[in-house]
Amino acid sequence: MTVEAYLQSQKERVDRRLAQLIRTEIPQFSGLYEAMNYSLNAGGKRIRPILFLSVLEALGKDPAGYLDLACALECVHSYSLIHDDLPAMDDDDYRRGKPTNHRVYGEGTAILAGDGLLTYAFELMAAQRQPEPAKLLEAIHVFARAAGPAGMVGGQFFDLASTDAPRIGLDELKLMHRSKTGIIFAAVVDMAAILAAAAAGVRAALAAYADNLGLAFQITDDILDVTGDESVLGKPVGSDEKNHKTTYVTLLSPAGAKKEAAAAAEKARLALAGFGENARILRDLVGYLEKRAQ
């Protein structure tokens, strides 16, 4: 199976389950749940849940029993996008080819929809019965730290504080990108390693893979914000320039950013050198993400 076919199959699997999850029997809350579902089921590649399921597979675990955990990861991602798009953040009008949540439901409801998705994600994680309780608790702890003020939220604050400020340097940009994106990739991969009871050496190799995959992914996003096709991306290009943000493109030029992305992608592949055929999809995923900027 090609990586494209694999990703499509897993995406459909995740999409079907996501469409079943957000429900209420309280009529007065229906508008909130509609707003949550609007963003959660708006499409997207579902890279984070698929990465989680793929690592489980590579480590010899049947991913079928972990689908709700994977869906919880996507709930957190959707919350982050709703909040990123708000006028107080990136002030974007389109996401995944549709008007952003606040453009449809208003800022107040959009904030609550994001809050609801974030909190529901941890409710969904804690309700799982498949993993051993101690391993599940460790996995939730890893993800909560990555998604909170020590990780994604902290990175978003740094991004916001850097807007319209003097241009930051490459080391600071790497910190921002790792906090906003890379740390979530790392947490998703480590969660799977924990649940699969992977040995310390395996976890370390997967951590190196995830760090570099996340870096390549974020650099590629910077490139696409300049060179991408809005009709393909489903969101406006040029948002970084509009918000006066420092990116790999502004620091290194488009050619320099592509070189950095390629170097990170190669490091990600090298980290999987000892995994054999079981990690084929993980290796192919690197190439798939690289192609986004070509």
pTM exceeds 0.85: yes
pLDDT at residue 294 in the model: 55
What backbone phi and psi angles, to 5 degrees, belong to 147?
-85, -10
The DSSP letter of residue 178 is I
Paired strand residues for 95: 98
Please, which pLDDT band fits residue 233 given cuts at 50, 70 and 90?
low
Q: Is it the case that residue 25 has pLDDT exceeding 90?
A: yes
pLDDT at residue 243 in the model: 59
Q: Report the helix count and the strand count for the chain, using DSSP H and E.
A: 15, 2
Q: What is the pLDDT of residues 83-100, one digit of tens each?
A: 999 999 999 999 999 999
pLDDT at residue 239 in the model: 65
Structural tokens at position 284: 């192919």
Q: Is it the case that residue 238 has pLDDT exceeding 70?
A: no
Q: Are 96 and 230 in contact (CB under 8 A)?
A: no
Going from N- to C-terminal start, the domains of the chain cover 3-291
Instruction: Report the alpha-carbon distance of residue 205 to residue 260 in Å, rounded.
Output: 20
Domain 3-291 sits in CATH 1.10.600.10: yes
Please, which pLDDT band fits residue 291 given cuts at 50, 70 and 90?
confident
pLDDT at residue 130 in the model: 85
Q: SS3 sequence, 123-163? A: HHHHCCCCCCHHHHHHHHHHHHHHHCCCCHHHHHHHHHHHC
Q: Is it the case that residue 293 has pLDDT exceeding 80?
A: no
Paired strand residues for 94: 99
Q: What is the pLDDT of residues 258-269, one digit of tens each?
A: 999 999 999 999
pLDDT at residue 165 in the model: 67
Q: Is it the case that residue 143 has pLDDT exceeding 90?
A: yes
Q: Are 215 and 177 in contact (CB under 8 A)?
A: yes
pLDDT at residue 67 in the model: 97
Angstrom distances, CA of residue 135 to CA of 56, 74, 112, 188, 250: 14, 20, 31, 14, 42
Q: Are 203 and 189 in contact (CB under 8 A)?
A: no
Q: What is the pLDDT of residues 42-87, one digit of tens each?
A: 999 999 999 999 999 999 999 999 999 999 999 999 999 999 999 9
Q: Is it the case that residue 289 has pLDDT exceeding 60?
A: yes
pLDDT at residue 227 in the model: 76
pLDDT at residue 226 in the model: 86
Match 């918000």 to its residue by tokens.
243
Higher-pLDDT residue of 224, 193 = 193
pLDDT at residue 168 in the model: 87
Mean pLDDT of 157-175: 85
pLDDT at residue 153 in the model: 96
CA proximity to 263, closest of 246, 241, 282, 248: 248
